[in-house]
């Protein structure tokens, strides 16, 4: 019996080695020399997803066979659903087009937004990136916020938003839970557009994902034109929300909530906010490819991203663009995708009711 088991193990090992050799040989035949890989970002230039793509694009070029040009193409509209619908229905499956998603792509999918014509089950994730978010105010309001929080809560705030079913759901719900008066202007094409409206004085509150905040808002803070007031935080190993290590001096929304209400957040609103925060930020940005693409090509892209994030100097070169957050490929990326696209039905139901009550949006 022991000999039979050993023989079976040897056969299995030989079979695995053969399949690995075949896969490696097939991948070795792929060469993108002189070709262009299009990386579609469904937001305007300057936002977090755009910053991530433009950071990775030259590195991806260096790590794909033949060193093709990797061209970032912005396709904003409908809070990212326009670009996602295009990618799902029209993008070729030959590895020449990859696509960036974010929480603003995930949330409409989770909330059954009628504009969604795409399905995450049709996509293979080749890179997953966590991120955070930072809310900020103009200098005068920021000073008032720090000196007299309760008076600041009475201000009438105006916020440029992609829409309440996008990633903006997280700040909008957070601010509602704090009792703030925030009047959103819906329909902007990306967070970069919202930041520009803030800089031009059309709105007086904004938030950006960490990559965009680090690259675009930090200069405003250094010049005294913006004051950060809260982050969304990160999850520790026990599932508690703690301060974002990229912004250790800025309190989390949870901390601000405690300061305003003199108690820890709890109940259905908190459970829903935390569920969407996890889906929208812990697994915030993903790079995907159509699942009907040849497995060898999918593996090639995954391996290219794996080689990038395993570079010895990766944390140094990525810190100012992406912040210090997990970057994952392979099985870890698949787990990220599950976290981003599978959420407690009770949280979804609660948020749908809140959207209906707050914005007359019936989903």
Grouping H, G, I as helix, E, B as strand and the rest as coil, residue 264 is coil
Residues 251, 310 within the same domain? no
Domain co-membership, 318 together with 299:
yes
Contact 186, 162 (CB under 8 A): yes
Asked whether the beta carbons of 72 and 39 are under 8 A apart, the reply is yes
- Considering the domain architecture, whether residues 113 and 151 belong to the same structural domain is answered as no
Q: How far is CA 258 from the centre of its chain?
A: 27
Question: How far does Cα 119 stand from its chain's mean position?
Answer: 17
DSSP 205: B
| β-strand partners of 182 | 157
Is residue 13 one of the residues assigned to a domain? no
**Tell me: the pLDDT tens digits for 281-305?**
877 789 999 999 999 999 999 999 9
Q: Are 170 and 107 in contact (CB under 8 A)?
A: no
Half-sphere exposure of 152 (CA within 13 A, CB side): 21
pTM: 0.80
Same domain, 155 and 44: no
Name the DSSP letter for residue 39: E
Residue 15, CA distances (Å) to 5, 22, 65, 117, 211 in order? 15, 11, 27, 41, 44
Q: Are residues 114 and 154 in the same domain?
A: no
Same domain, 137 and 148: yes
pLDDT in tens, the chain (363 residues): 433 444 443 444 444 444 444 444 445 578 999 999 999 999 989 888 898 999 999 999 999 999 999 999 999 988 799 999 999 999 999 999 999 998 889 999 999 999 999 999 999 999 998 889 999 999 999 999 999 998 999 999 999 999 999 999 999 999 999 999 999 999 998 889 999 999 999 999 999 999 889 989 999 999 999 999 999 999 887 888 999 999 999 999 999 999 999 999 999 999 999 999 988 887 778 999 999 999 999 999 999 999 999 999 998 999 888 888 888 999 989 988 988 898 899 999 999 999 999 999 998
105 in the same domain as 236:
no
The answer to whether 298 touches 292, Cβ cutoff 8 Å, is no
Most distant CA atoms of the chain, gap in Å: 80
Contact 48, 211 (CB under 8 A): yes
What is the tens place of the pLDDT at every residue in 73-126?
999 988 799 999 999 999 999 999 999 998 889 999 999 999 999 999 999 999
Is 322:243 a contact under the CB 8 Å cutoff? Answer: no
Give, in degrees to the nearest 5, the angle at Cα 356 between 350 and 359. Answer: 125
Cβ 121 vs Cβ 338: under 8 Å: no
Structure tokens at 243: 């301060």
Helix/strand/coil for 7 = helix
Residues 275, 289 within the same domain: no
- Written as six digits, the tokens of 256 are 């601000």
Q: How far apart are CA 233 and CA 243, in angstroms?
A: 5
Tell me: do 270 and 295 sit in the same domain.
no
Range of the domain at 296: 28-130+283-344
- 299 plus 271 within the same structural domain: no
Domain count, the chain: 2
Count of residues for the chain?
Answer: 363
Gyration radius of the chain over CA positions: 22
If asked whether residues 83 and 122 sit together in one domain, one would say: yes
Distance of CA 132 to CAs 74, 156, 230, 310, Å?
A: 22, 25, 11, 22
48: closest CA among 119, 102, 98? Answer: 102
Cα torsion 284, 287, 293, 294: sign? negative
CATH code (residue 177): 3.40.190.10
Distance CA 303, CA 97 (A): 17
139 and 275 in a common domain: yes
């Amino acid at each position: 019996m022991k000999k039979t088991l050993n023989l079976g193990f040897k056969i299995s090992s030989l079979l695995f080695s053969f399949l690995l050799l075949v896969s490696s040989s097939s991948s070795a035949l792929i060469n993108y020399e002189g070709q262009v890989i299009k990386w579609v970002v469904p937001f305007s230039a300057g936002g977090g997803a755009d910053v991530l793509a433009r950071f990775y694009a030259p590195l991806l070029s260096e790590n794909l066979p033949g060193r093709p040009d990797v061209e970032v193409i912005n396709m904003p509209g409908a809070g990212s659903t326009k670009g996602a619908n295009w990618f799902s229905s029209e993008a070729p499956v030959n590895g020449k087009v990859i696509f960036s998603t974010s929480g603003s792509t995930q949330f409409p999918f989770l909330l059954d937004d009628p504009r969604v014509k795409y399905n995450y089950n049709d996509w293979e994730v080749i890179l997953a990136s966590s991120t955070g978010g930072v809310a900020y105010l103009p200098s005068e309001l920021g000073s008032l916020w720090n000196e007299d929080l309760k008076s600041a809560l009475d201000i009438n705030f105006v916020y440029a938003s992609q829409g309440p079913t996008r990633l903006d759901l997280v700040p909008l719900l957070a601010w509602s839970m704090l009792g703030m008066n925030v009047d959103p202007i819906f329909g902007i094409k990306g967070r970069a557009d919202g930041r520009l409206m803030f800089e031009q004085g059309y709105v007086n509150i904004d938030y950006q994902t960490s990559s965009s905040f680090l690259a675009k808002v930090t200069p405003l803070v250094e010049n005294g034109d913006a004051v950060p007031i809260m982050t969304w935080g990160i999850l520790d190993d026990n599932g508690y929300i703690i301060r974002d290590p990229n912004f250790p001096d800025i309190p989390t929304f949870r901390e601000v909530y405690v300061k305003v209400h003199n108690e820890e957040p709890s109940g259905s609103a908190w459970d829903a906010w935390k569920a969407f925060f996890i889906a929208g930020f812990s697994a915030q940005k993903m790079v995907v490819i159509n699942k009907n693409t040849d497995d060898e090509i999918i593996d090639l892209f995954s391996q290219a991203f794996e080689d990038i994030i395993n570079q010895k100097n990766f944390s140094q070169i990525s810190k100012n663009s992406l912040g210090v957050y997990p970057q994952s490929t392979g099985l870890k990326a698949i787990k990220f995708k599950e976290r981003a696209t599978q959420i407690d039905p009770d949280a979804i139901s609660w948020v749908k009711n809140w959207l209906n009550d707050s914005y007359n949006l019936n989903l």
